[in-house]
Amino acid sequence: MTRWKLWLPLVLFAGFCALVAWPLIRPPSTDVHSQLIGKPLPQFALKPANSTLPGIATADFRDGKPRLLNVFASWCVPCAAEAPQLGELQRQGVEIVGIDLRDHPEDLAQFLQQNGNPFARIGADDIGAVQLGIGSSGVPETFVIDGKGVIRYQHIGDIRAEDVPMLLGKLKDAEA
């Protein structure tokens, strides 16, 4: 067998690697969120998730005051991890409303008792309908909504301590 033929398997393999590396390197076109920035929230109304706090509806966001909308669930581990940061934001005077995803009231009550309750209102989204409508595909996610009910910013994943000033800045921008 001539020498060059022995390199053939390597060439084929290199071709395979190039083929599969392409979709990995190419930035994924899954930015469902970017298109909703600058758009008003869709119309929705969610029933209260527990007996102590009111539920939420689109109209609640149109009072001229910017706030955070946090999508969370008691079964979500990173949501517990971001609870102290939400607490900090609330202490700084930010109003936070929650969308509780596919949850049970008793689990939610326990979650709030253990991690503190930074929320002014919590709506229960049992089928993930609103979640999908606002362009969120996972939990936790946090949206900055301005006083006209327009989505200004979307934060995917848990809020780390270093994200708090950034979110406060976004809220300030939303006021203007």
Partner 1 sequence: MIAELGLAALWLAAALALLQLVCGVMVVRRDDAALASVIRPLAVVQGALAALAFGALLLCFARFDLSVKLVAMNSRDAQPLIFQIAGTWGNHEGSMLMWVTIMSLAGALIALIERRVPERTMIATLATQAFVGLGFYAFLLIASNPFERLDPPAQQGLGLNPALQDIGLAYHPPTLYFGYVGLSVAFSFAVGALITRQVTPAFARAMRPWVLGAWIFLTLGITAGSYWAYYELGWGGWWFWDPTENASLMPWLAATALLHSVSVLAARDALRTWTIMLGVVAFSMSMVGTFLVRSGILTSVHAFAIDPERGAFILGLLALYVGSALVLFALRAGTVAEGERFAVTSREGALVVNNVVLCALLAIVLVGTLYPLVTEAYGVRVSVGPPYFTPVSALFFLPMLVVLAVGPLLRWRRDSLERIQRPLVLFFAIAVIALAGVWFNSSIGFLPLVGMALAAMLAVASFAPAQGRNLRRLPLAVWGMMIAHFGIAVALFGMAADSAFTVEKLVAAKEGDTVEIGPWLATLKTVEPVAGPNWTALEATLAVSYEGEPGKALRPQQRSFWAPAQKTSESALLTRWNGQLYTVLGDQAEDGRWQLRLWWKPFVTWIWYGGILIGLGGLLALIGRVGNDLKRRHAQVRIARRKRTAE
Partner 2 sequence: MSTRLAPKHQRLVLLAIALVVLIAAALIAAWGLRSQASYFYVPSDLIAKPPAPGQAIRLGGMVQKGSLKTDADGVTIHFMVGDGKAHVPVSYSGIVPDLFTEGSGVVAEGRLAPGGTFVADNLLAKHDENYVPRELKDMTEAQKQAAVQETTK
Contacts to partner 2 by CB under 8 A = 28-30, 32, 35-36, 42-44, 101-102, 127-129, 131-133, 135, 137-139
72 — phi, psi (to 5°)?
A: -150, 180
Q: How far apart are CA 129 and CA 135, in angstroms?
A: 10
Kindly provide the residue ranges of all beta strands, DSSP E only, lying in the chain, ordered along the sequence.
45-46, 56-57, 67-72, 96-101, 119-125, 141-145, 151-156
**The only residue of 52, 92, 110, 137 in contact with partner 1, by rule CB under 8 A:** 110
- Minimum CB separation of residue 47 from partner 2 in Å reads 17
Per partner kind, with CB cut-offs from 5 to 8 A, the member of partner 1, partner 2, none near residue 22 is: partner 1
- Minimum CB separation of residue 82 from partner 2 in Å reads 18
Q: Which stretch in 7-15, 40-48, 50-58, 152-160 sits in contact with partner 1 by CB under 8 A? A: 7-15
**The only residue of 62, 104, 148, 152 in contact with partner 1, by rule CB under 8 A:** 104
**The only residue of 57, 81, 120, 164 in contact with partner 1, by rule CB under 8 A:** 81
Dihedral angle computed from the Cα positions of residues 172, 42, 40 and 157, in that order, rounded to the nearest 10 degrees: 40
Which amino acid type is present at position 113? Q
